[in-house]
Structure 1
């Protein structure tokens, strides 16, 4: 036994030495803020998971796995019990307390100027009761079968440390104290993020001593940095470079079918919308996007398969509904949306626009690989049926602020979730901050045929019945053109083969927790 222990110790020594490593990443998207409760956006969620933890999380296979909670269960339809890990501390030594969970839930709806609130994750929660120092019970006002899945989005803060912390305090680093695998070192908005390994992490020390992330929105610059060996890993590999980089023996490509859908969001509500005129540039008496036939015509104008094949170089799948194939509870009976330019022109004529009209479509630049080229392809499709379309793109932070302010008639973005019901709840359910519905419904769309079955689904414990209700809501949303789904993205990372391996995340997360040394 003594010889065996000595041998184990001997073979462990290289591992200790190898742990003294720095992982350098070039990431496309910078976070909009470092406040864990400010903006429910992938770039924010991924980076902040270095420093902060949730009770539970999704792993890369779509399973809900323990984090700060070591176990949990539904006691009845309106009561959940979570058992916290023993001995968890924040980076300054402050112990994790059950009261911190209640504090974090209370903070979610009260973060000023949030462009995408987390409040809907706890929309049904009515109380958090401390049973003992490691056990809490969460009560809800109605059955909430997806509560554990929704709580994967919530990162836990400390009442003692963060009670008066503002978003500015997180951005400056003063409040960047979490329970995560890495400790905050530095952040420069739009430029870099740095963290150091937390030796006291509850999950055990990580293999990277330092994590350095540079925000490089230009795709060619990210690729050049990788090829030069200046970084170990890049995300958002340009679609046109995937095949070429995969053939380079120095590099490895890591790919996942994402849980995200690219879609168009038309303003189907206001009588007058910006960026819509007649063919001569004069204001129209009525916003044409209010007419379902116009929204259907725009959808039918596009050859989604061609966009995926030619613009995305095959890095995606045409969408027939809002939730991607990896999402649980999606509709199983929806047919592909075929291009039919003739039918699209007919619908425009029936709606009173035989000569079409002018439209500007907006989108973020550097949000996903090929996003600007996709917008240009969509504009060409619309123009071919008589809707003369131009494209305007904006940096992501500016784009989402303006989209939330309803500055656009039609815009393109993405939404990612592992649950079809949550996708609908977040984006097309009628906006109701009090009910936690529609926080990403930036066009203020409303439709009882969507809301009715969806709200019933969200409180239905029986899984087959819940899925049937979600499918009913999904059909209503797509048939009405609430959103116009485009495609489901594949996501790609590229790394130096001798340096790193990456467990590709369907959630698009670029995070050192998914990276391991190649050797």
Structure 2
């Protein structure tokens, strides 16, 4: 142990070389907190995973790989044994052990309102076999247990510190400074990073194109042509996320299933997705676990949409964020051809956008569902299960169908992949009959990079700063 502490001290105080250029990253949104267990915004997670680390991690191709856990065993369906790395330190210098894993899970359980409680809910109890072996005993078999653990950052038993490649140097106003953690187990080329936060993605992109920063995380589609003209490199990645046109099923006229089907038939999703992403027929994206091309797709047919409405003039309001205004205008134009009159409502920011949705103030809205675990079962459980404890956390549609609930619940006890995928397919078809939301497309995403920097693309929307290199 003494040798480990001496080694850590030598590494920590070797510091950054004077005069090294810092990398500037333009980022949206600004985190409300840097506590890794207090919020569940995918973009913020992408930032925090450079400071904290989970037991297992998504690889760039969305496979589960080792991180703080070196390997794991499953002697039966409800027992998971994790063997931990022995070369890991927290930013304070404390060695990482199984006691930190147990303390992290207990902290989340005790946090009122932590969005990660569902992620650790399969755990019945924990046992520490030795400082580098921890055992989880589950309530029941859980095929997505590793996916859930990949979202849970481990902190020190005695402090809110992480083991990630970068440590927090300073947070002030709209700027966060990160410095390389010299005791990290992998070499880090970039030693200092300045992150500048913006609330508006279009405005952030405008500033980036004008010359601010070296990298912009999640560069918006509307600025791509302008960026290319300036010679900015675009790093493409394809996360398992999906744009949905959702309906508030408590509001007239979209509480009428005939109206919802007419809307779905009137939207040319292929045209809408052109250059933006891959058309979606179901609610599980192609690179998510459980995807099937055999869902009962709704084909574009505005003439059938008009016949369904039988001359009835339908009007409703569609809420859409400022950066998706052009997409909203395209949808409005398509629906007008089927005799559906849509009024676009553009809130001033994301806070107002979600306030209106959660307050039930709008008829319909376009949202991007961020599939954090990459699992189709988790997506359906979150989006379409009846809202109750542990289920339907992102069901913004007031949707409830006992048959869909039963199918969704059953999938989490099935370990056979083929059987599980068949249940997910049936559940999607049940939901598509009701159409609480129309699947539009799975978006292409981009990071913008310049000044000779190279960044590894990652389909989980991650921003792996440890992969950042500068061409010589």
TM-score of the superposed pair, with normalisation by structure 2:
0.88
State the match for 2:100 in structure 1.
Answer: 100
Matched, 1:256 2:237: yes
State the match for 2:10 in structure 1.
Answer: none
Query: Which of 386, 406, 413 pairs up with 2:367?
Result: 413
User: 1:375, 1:391 within 8 Å by CA — same for their partners in 2?
Assistant: no
Matched, 1:295 2:260: yes
Could you tell me which runs of 5 or more consecutive residues in structure 2 were left unpaired when the two chains were aligned.
1-15
Could you tell me which runs of 5 or more consecutive residues in structure 1 were left unpaired when the two chains were aligned.
1-15, 162-174, 274-286
CA distance in 2, matches of 1:305, 1:480: 22
Q: What displacement does 1:402 show? A: 4.7
Matched, 1:35 2:18: no
State the match for 1:354 in structure 2.
Answer: 312
User: 1:403, 1:442 within 8 Å by CA — same for their partners in 2?
Assistant: yes
State the match for 1:120 in structure 2.
Answer: 118
Q: What displacement does 1:36 show? A: 1.4
Moved more, 462-471 or 81-90: 81-90
Question: Which runs of structure 2 are paired with 1:37-52 in the superposition (5 Å)?
Answer: 37-52=37-52
Matched, 1:502 2:455: yes
Q: Cα deviation per residue 1:125-180 (whole Å; 9 max; x = unaligned)? A: 2111111111111111111111011211111123422xxxxxxxxxxxxx4x2111
Q: Cα deviation per residue 1:17-66 (whole Å; 9 max; x = unaligned)? A: 79944221112333343221222221111111111111111011111111
- Taking a change above 3 Å as real, the CA distance of residues 264 and 76 of structure 1, as seen in their structure-2 partners, is same
Q: What displacement does 1:335 show? A: 5.5
State the match for 2:383 in structure 1.
Answer: 427
Query: Which of 156, 159, 164 pairs up with 1:180?
Result: 164
CA distance in 1, matches of 2:169, 2:77: 43
Q: Cα deviation per residue 1:427-466 (whole Å; 9 max; x = unaligned)? A: 1122232xx2222123342212222222211111111111
User: 2:98, 2:133 within 8 Å by CA — same for their partners in 1?
Assistant: yes
Following TM superposition, the consecutive aligned residue runs of length 4 or more in structure 1 with deviations greater than 6 angstroms are 16-19
User: 2:189, 2:466 within 8 Å by CA — same for their partners in 1?
Assistant: no
Question: Which runs of structure 2 are paired with 1:117-156 in the superposition (5 Å)?
Answer: 117-156=115-154
Q: What displacement does 1:514 show? A: 4.1
CA distance in 1, matches of 2:70, 2:88: 11
Query: Which of 189, 192, 197 pairs up with 2:175?
Result: 192
User: 2:320, 2:344 within 8 Å by CA — same for their partners in 1?
Assistant: no
Moved more, 329-338 or 46-55: 329-338
User: 1:382, 1:389 within 8 Å by CA — same for their partners in 2?
Assistant: no
State the match for 1:481 in structure 2.
Answer: 435
Query: Which of 191, 207, 228 pairs up with 1:209?
Result: 191
User: 1:197, 1:205 within 8 Å by CA — same for their partners in 2?
Assistant: no
Question: Which runs of structure 2 are paired with 1:238-277 in the superposition (5 Å)?
Answer: 238-243=220-225, 245-246=227-228, 248=230, 250-268=231-249, 270=250, 273=251
Q: What displacement does 1:511 show? A: 4.4
CA distance in 1, matches of 2:287, 2:44: 22
Q: What displacement does 1:194 show? A: 2.0
Q: For 1:160, what is the secondary structure of its paired residue? A: coil
Number of residue-to-residue matches in the alignment: 454
Q: For 1:333, what is the secondary structure of its paired residue? A: coil
State the match for 1:282 in structure 2.
Answer: none
Q: What displacement does 1:517 show? A: 2.1
- Taking a change above 3 Å as real, the CA distance of residues 444 and 68 of structure 1, as seen in their structure-2 partners, is farther
What's the Cα RMSD here? 2.6
Q: For 2:244, what is the secondary structure of its paired residue? A: strand
State the match for 1:236 in structure 2.
Answer: 218
User: 1:361, 1:411 within 8 Å by CA — same for their partners in 2?
Assistant: yes
